Amino acid sequence: MEGDAKGFTLIELLVVISIVMLFSGIILAGLIGVRNQGKDARIKSSMDQIRKGASVYQSYQGNYTGLGCGVTSPVNMQALCNDVNSQSGSSPVFNAGTNDYCAYTVMASSATKWFCVSSVRGEAVETATNPDTTCAGASYDCP
């Protein structure tokens, strides 16, 4: 008898494959957001290490002059900057004077979010305002 054949029809297989692909797409889309959140967490951690390293640098040098990604002693800022760059695609921007400094970078999750550290605030700040205007010049502050 022809009606007693066992197995799946082509239509049934195509429906199952389509559903599996749909669920896979939804899961992968969600993982991209989680991945960027992980990158942001690592950026924040490295920028906090830069903030702490700047304090050590100032204690050692007596000022913040010359502080930037090229510094390797007494704190290896270069390694921290490279880590931030590997996560966000952008190295931190430094503005350093004798008594104060400011450093910021764009976040991985959004090109309109920045993470900023400064000696003026003494803490790290996540902001939607580009720190380029407040960190530049002599203000050395995060928005």
Cβ atoms 113, 126 nearer than 8 A = yes
**Token reading at 36:** 């960027």
Give the whole-number percent of the chain exceeding pLDDT 70.
97
107-111 average pLDDT score: 91
Tens digits of per-residue pLDDT, 22-50?
988 888 877 778 888 999 999 999 999 99
Cβ atoms 97, 137 nearer than 8 A = no
- Residue 3 is predicted with a pLDDT of 60
Burial class (CB in 10 A: 0-12, 13-18, 19+), 63: middle
pTM confidence score: 0.79
Longest dimension (CA), the chain: 94
56-68 average pLDDT score: 94
Cβ atoms 102, 123 nearer than 8 A = no
Cβ atoms 91, 77 nearer than 8 A = no
127-141 average pLDDT score: 86
